[in-house]
Structure 1
């Protein structure tokens, strides 16, 4: 997998893949393929593409903000980043890709390489472990769907899997931030559902989901180790507490 340790590295990987796509493909097909979305579904429902492209645009903006602290004149990189922004600010997904690809010339790639080299790097995350976790998410989702879980527990565990899956799929764009954010969303989801889940006894599947959170924390290395919510959340759910107990414990320790 390409280097993902800062915004410029991640956008560079996206741009290089995008620049190599055939001119005659539709813009929807290109972005669906690059963003890990279903190409057939994307043609009929563009919302997932637009949502992912918004994340890409945010990362381009992040490069610009970060470069402002490197003390390099903005005119040396600003216009190139703007061309990337034009490429991801899609208004017509049915248009041929060449309409947008024209902005991604070799000088844009070169600029992103310089930005990637100049910006500080994040702690690396184990890409292979992220893929393993994603595979386990898919397996556990199937298991849960075929189980006799109570409605509240099914909804909670399914939602937790959604959060983990989304964070891993967004990692190539958002980097470590997507992993950190997952733990906050996971706890918020737990807190919201705590009353509904009180005294529920479906612990076996819940323990497996807890194991995925623990694996995600390990994959995140120092990036997630330094996150207080992530550490507290994993510590609580690994103890096999009920959802209500976990929420109460985390709030008492805050």
Structure 2
């Protein structure tokens, strides 16, 4: 587990929380692996060319190995496995543009500013809990971006938007709180980054329209 924590850049002193974060990242990698397998099947290439490589990666990502030694994971990470994966990346179509490190850093800074604002925020416990949850959503999306791409940000934004619409009456009561404004700013930047990366001009900027809808509700 410690090796995975280092690979994922997880800095968490609580071992239980650290294990949970590692498990979340591995689960994200498993989902992306399934996505790769689906796309390769749609490409109509012979499965014998890549199935064993994907199986090896699946074995390496198994949570059952978290309590073992890194050698148990490494045995599946063979040179031919990575060659086959490289072969897959050449075949699978490019679905998105990269989000710059500057954009990701900007979002992280906005979230850090939001978190700091909660220390002196004069808001209800319910709203504070809501904002803390949304901070976790954004931080998790940023952490999973190197694994699954911009869809991590899009899925987080959809979850956050749905929740905010559900509690819009709470937001109306405390909409003038600085933390609420900072939360909106952070989510808008997340949506902007995801829209650009996912080439959302084809989707009529759905993320931004959804947030504009929420602003109208308030």
For Structure 1 versus Structure 2, the TM-score category normalised by the shorter chain is: 0.7 to 0.9
Distance 1:205 1:40 in 2: 27
Partner of residue 154, structure 2: 180
> In 2 relative to 1, CA 213–45 (structure 1 residues): closer, same or farther, beyond 3 Å?
closer
Which one of the candidate residues 146, 157, 160 is aligned to 2:134?
160
Which one of the candidate residues 200, 208, 214 is aligned to 2:174?
200
Partner of residue 211, structure 2: 234
Shift of 1:126: 1.9
Partner of residue 151, structure 1: 125
Partner of residue 102, structure 1: 75
Contact 2:188 2:208 in 1 (8 A): no
Q: Secondary structure at the match of 1:46?
A: helix
Partner of residue 32, structure 1: 5
Name the one with the larger helix percent.
2
**1:51-79: per-residue Cα shift (whole Å, max 9, x none)?**
22111111111111100111210000000
Partner of residue 198, structure 2: 223
Q: TM-score, normalised by structure 1?
A: 0.75
Contact 1:156 1:193 in 2 (8 A): no
Unaligned ranges ≥5, structure 2: none
Structure of greater relative contact order (alpha carbons < 8 Å, 6+ residues apart)? 1
1:190 aligns with 2:164: yes
Partner of residue 105, structure 2: 131
Shift of 1:230: 1.5
> In 2 relative to 1, CA 120–44 (structure 1 residues): closer, same or farther, beyond 3 Å?
closer
Shift of 1:201: 4.2
Contact 1:87 1:103 in 2 (8 A): yes
Q: Secondary structure at the match of 1:114?
A: helix
Give the alignment's Cα RMSD to 1 decimal: 2.3
Distance 1:227 1:171 in 2: 23
**1:89-127: per-residue Cα shift (whole Å, max 9, x none)?**
131423210111011011111111111111011221323
Partner of residue 55, structure 1: 28
The total of aligned residue pairs comes to 214
